[in-house]
Amino acid sequence: MARGNTRALILEAALDCFLAKGFAGTSVADIRARSGASTGSIYHFFDTKDGVALALCAEGLRSWAGAVSAVPAQGAAEGVIRAMVDAAIDWALGNDRLHRFLLQSDSLVPVAAQRSDMVDALMEARLAQERILRDLTAKGSIRPMAWDMARAMILGPAESYLRERAHGRAAALPEEAKALLGEAAWQAVRADPQAKPKRERQWNLI
């Protein structure tokens, strides 16, 4: 069996075990039995059970970062904001098990995010979102606000919906949620068409 396939099988088996038993309730023996890999193979790729979980977190974060970075920055402002919401929801739907694992592993995610192979990917995702919002602000399409506030207003409700869905508590179907949350995000940040543009402050240097 190819080494890459063995590593992938171990991660897939570990994901099954972590979701079924939780991180604390899963042992390396469980992962070995589920994957069919030897104990030696598991420790060849991962130093500890924590290392397996961190690798899964990194895989999820890298996949999410790729989806975020792929949001098109061109087009009508409303469409761009809705696309940001759609990308978040579509990624979670397409990676349901990995998404649920990330939600379960909130203490491990920050550690995984600091891995040297993750920093660039996450920074690019952040910069991609910032560029979109900066351009829309410069065009007067959305209200000026701090980056963290804009992100919270656009993606916060979608992330809340996805948490509820992961726990089986969401009543809305995904397509309905995308439409409603996309509209809510746009209304939250759109510029007021009736608002008068602010005059640039003149500084008296004398």
**Cα–Cα distance between 112 and 49 in angstroms, integer?**
14
Position 4 scores a pLDDT of 59
SS3 195: coil
Question: Phi first, then psi: what are they for 190, rounded to 5°?
Answer: -60, 145
Amino acid at site 107: S
pLDDT in tens, 43-80: 999 999 999 999 999 999 999 999 989 999 889 999 99
Q: Which residue has the higher pLDDT, 156 or 197?
A: 156
CATH class of the region 53-189: mainly alpha
Q: Which of 58, 56, 9 is nearest to 37 (CA)?
A: 9
- The fraction of the chain above a pLDDT of 70, given in percent, is 92
**Which residues make beta-bridge pairs with 104?**
none
> What is the residue extent of each domain of the chain?
1-46, 53-189
**Cα–Cα distance between 182 and 164 in angstroms, integer?**
17
**Helices then strands (H, E): number in the chain?**
10, 0
What do you get for the CA distance between the two ends of the chain, in Å? Answer: 77
Inter-residue contact 150 to 133 (CB < 8 Å): yes
Amino acid at site 133: L
| Four-way CATH pick for 1-46: 1.10.10.60, 3.30.310.40, 2.40.170.20, 1.10.472.10 | 1.10.10.60
**Cα–Cα distance between 129 and 117 in angstroms, integer?**
20
Name the pTM for this structure: 0.86
107, two tokens: 């203490």
